[in-house]
């Protein structure tokens, strides 16, 4: 059928667009991208807040960072990056601390100036009640690393709000993402490259899709049109893996966030882009002030005004956006069953955050799409290699 594309991509997030761009540009094939939202870009999509013109990341603040040279070279074909470096501050009991945990926070919290060695000795003593290698959950792991006082101030309340779960019932590795430094370095990321797309995420995403071989069909749910394509052309599916199989093995659990934007009648609300709220009795986890992501921009309509977004976290219900995999033991058992089912779909590849049920940063989603292109899609189109060898991309 000459009307059929060579490849269908379900979802126009970074994973789907990377596949579409590579297949159109490198292989000269025709790609149809189906997207059920009214816009492209998945969760990285951003738009100008109408009153102020300030760029707001609609699905939560997105900071680009990577140490992967290949991904960095690839993304620079579509956008330049500013020199933005992410820093987060933390509010607890009416005081503001420099975050993540560093010498500044330790000195301020304990009301005394410590040298790096003194701070290390202090924290080691406070953390001695639990051996790190014996820590079995997030609470024990955190206490074994930073001691009880810092845990109770900066981790316990925030984590309970973010996961709506007692930290004793959360996996220990969640906390290893948060560094503790015995210097005054308060950069949030350790990666080689970091920055924000100079003219915004949406311009970047649109440039990836801008190719005569790529057609993007918005407000189109794959499940409404799948019979036209399934079994006829290869499909790269980046939607939720459980939904693909009609939730036959049960729903995978996700955490969602509620984002409440508000235009404030002040030039500057909090003096920085992200403030964490660590007290347990404040219902939101953090406030983003989007102006501060682009200090190099002149937002003329935003004089005397600013946009803040309060972020609340909770378990996702049926119609909520799935954001972070909760990944309980039950979820992992279901995921194995879905992977077996995926192996039985020879013409469908599953990828991306939702398709693999993995939290992927943008650079990881892009890197994993580049690998899928190299290892499966190019060999399939160039020499007829079978598409699916294992189903879910690991
Ligand atoms: P998505 O962007 O989710 O795209 C999937 C697309 O598929 C969606 O547009 C969806 O509508 C579409 N779709 C699903 N099902 C169907 C269907 N049946 N038919 C048609 N279309 C369908 N990464 C960072 O690097 N830095 C950050 O600071 C950062 N912050 C984040 C903050 C939040 C709150 C969240 C949730 C994520 C954050 N990320 C961040 C991760 C980033 O969003 C992901 O890496 C990226 O979105 C992954 O791209 P993807 O293509 O896999 O998925
Ligand atoms: N965390 C915390 N206190 C903070 C910030 C983070 O205890 O002020 C913990 C929390 O458990 C969280 C984890 O560290 O889930 C990772 O934090 P990160 O900021 O990376 O979360 P994300 O930005 O992905 O929501």
Is 70 exceeded by the pLDDT of residue 24?
Answer: yes
CATH fold group of domain 7-83+195-250+327-383? Rossmann fold (3.40.50)
Q: Please state the atom number of ligand 2 nearest to the C-alpha of residue 138.
A: 11
Mean pLDDT check: name the lowest of 155-159, 200-204, 327-331.
Answer: 327-331
Please compute, for residue 76, the number of CA atoms within 13 A of its CA located in the half-sphere on the CB side: 13
**pLDDT tens across 181-223, in order?**
999 999 999 999 999 999 999 999 999 999 999 999 999 999 9
Determine how β-strand 55-57 pairs with β-strand 46-48.
Answer: antiparallel
pLDDT at 393: 47
**Ligand 1 mean position to 34 CA, how many Å?**
14
Q: 324 an active-site residue?
A: no
pLDDT band at 388 (very low <50, low <70, confident <90, very high): confident
Radius of gyration over alpha carbons of the chain, in Å?
23
Let me know the angle formed at the C-alpha of 188 by 184 and 190, rounded to the nearest 5 degrees.
Answer: 90
Is 50 exceeded by the pLDDT of residue 391?
Answer: no
Task: Give Cβ neighbours of residue 269 (< 8 Å, ≥ 6 apart).
Answer: 287, 289, 306, 308
Is 90 exceeded by the pLDDT of residue 247?
Answer: yes
Is 90 exceeded by the pLDDT of residue 285?
Answer: yes
Q: What is the mean pLDDT of the segment spanning 62-77?
A: 98
pLDDT at 360: 95
Three-state DSSP at 373 gives: helix
The structure's pTM equals: 0.95
Ranges for all domains in the chain classified under CATH 3.40.50.720: 7-83+195-250+327-383
Distances (CA, A) of 282 to 50, 258, 262: 29, 15, 17
Give the integer Cα–Cα distance in Å for 16 and 20: 6
Q: What is the mean pLDDT of the segment spanning 143-156?
A: 95
Are the C-beta atoms of residues 264 and 305 closer than 8 Å to each other? yes
ipTM score of the complex?
Answer: 0.97
Is 50 exceeded by the pLDDT of residue 320?
Answer: yes
pLDDT at 166: 83
Are the C-beta atoms of residues 100 and 188 closer than 8 Å to each other? yes
Q: Residue 84 carries which DSSP code? A: -
Asked if residue 38 has its Cβ within 6 Å of ligand 2, the reply is no
Asked if residue 278 has its Cβ within 6 Å of ligand 2, the reply is yes
pLDDT band at 382 (very low <50, low <70, confident <90, very high): very high
Give the integer Cα–Cα distance in Å for 287 and 277: 8
Is 80 exceeded by the pLDDT of residue 2?
Answer: no
Of 165, 167, 164, nearest to 144 by C-alpha is 167
Percentage, residues of the chain above pLDDT 70: 98
Q: Which ligand is nearest to the CA of 285?
A: 2
pLDDT at 394: 46
Is 80 exceeded by the pLDDT of residue 176?
Answer: no
Give the integer Cα–Cα distance in Å for 85 and 193: 10
pLDDT at 304: 96
Give the integer Cα–Cα distance in Å for 188 and 88: 7
- Run of H or E including 203: helix 201-209
Q: Residue 329 carries which DSSP code? A: H
pLDDT at 389: 56
Give the integer Cα–Cα distance in Å for 257 and 252: 17
Q: Do you find a cis peptide bond into 149, omega within 30 degrees of 0? A: no
Q: What is the mean pLDDT of the segment spanning 273-287?
A: 97
**Ligand 2 mean position to 301 CA, how many Å?**
33
pLDDT at 354: 97
Q: 118 an active-site residue?
A: no
């Amino acid at each position: 059928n000459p009307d059929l594309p060579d490849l269908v991509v379900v979802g126009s997030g970074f994973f789907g667009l990377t596949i579409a761009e590579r297949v159109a540009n490198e292989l000269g094939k025709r790609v149809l991208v189906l997207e059920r939202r009214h816009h492209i870009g998945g969760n990285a999509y951003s738009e100008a807040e109408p009153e102020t013109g300030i760029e707001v990341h609609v699905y939560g603040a997105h900071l680009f960072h990577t140490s992967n040279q290949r991904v960095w070279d690839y993304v620079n074909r579509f956008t330049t990056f500013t020199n933005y470096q992410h820093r987060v501050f933390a509010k607890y009991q009416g005081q503001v601390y420099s975050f993540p945990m560093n010498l500044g926070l330790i000195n301020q919290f304990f009301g005394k100036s410590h040298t790096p060695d003194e701070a290390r000795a202090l924290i080691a003593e406070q953390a001695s009640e639990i051996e790190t290698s014996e820590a079995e959950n997030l609470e024990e792991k955190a206490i074994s690393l930073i001691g009880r006082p810092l845990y109770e101030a900066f981790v316990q309340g925030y984590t309970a709000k973010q996961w709506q779960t007692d930290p004793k019932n959360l996996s220990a590795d969640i906390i290893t993402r948060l560094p503790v430094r015995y210097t005054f370095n308060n950069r949030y990321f350790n990666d080689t490259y970091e920055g924000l797309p100079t003219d915004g995420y949406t311009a970047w995403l649109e440039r990836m899709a801008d190719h005569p071989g790529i057609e993007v069909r918005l407000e189109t749910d794959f499940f409404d049109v799948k019979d036209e394509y399934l079994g006829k052309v290869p499909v790269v599916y980046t939607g939720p893996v459980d939904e693909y199989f009609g939730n036959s093995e049960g729903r995978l659990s996700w955490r969602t966030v509620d984002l409440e934007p508000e235009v404030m009648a002040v030039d500057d609300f909090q003096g920085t882009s992200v403030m964490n709220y660590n007290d347990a009795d404040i219902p939101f986890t953090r406030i983003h002030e989007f102006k501060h992501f682009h200090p190099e921009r002149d937002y003329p309509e935003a004089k005397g005004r600013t946009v803040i977004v309060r972020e609340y976290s909770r378990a996702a219900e049926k119609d909520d956006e799935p954001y972070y995999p909760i990944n309980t033991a039950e979820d992992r058992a279901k995921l194995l069953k879905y992977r077996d089912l995926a192996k039985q779909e020879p013409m469908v590849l599953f990828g991306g955050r939702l398709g693999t049920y993995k939290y992927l940063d943008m650079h990881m989603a892009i890197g994993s799409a580049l690998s899928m292109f190299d290892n499966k899609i190019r060999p399939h189109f160039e020499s007829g290699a079978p598409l699916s060898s294992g189903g879910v991309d690991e």
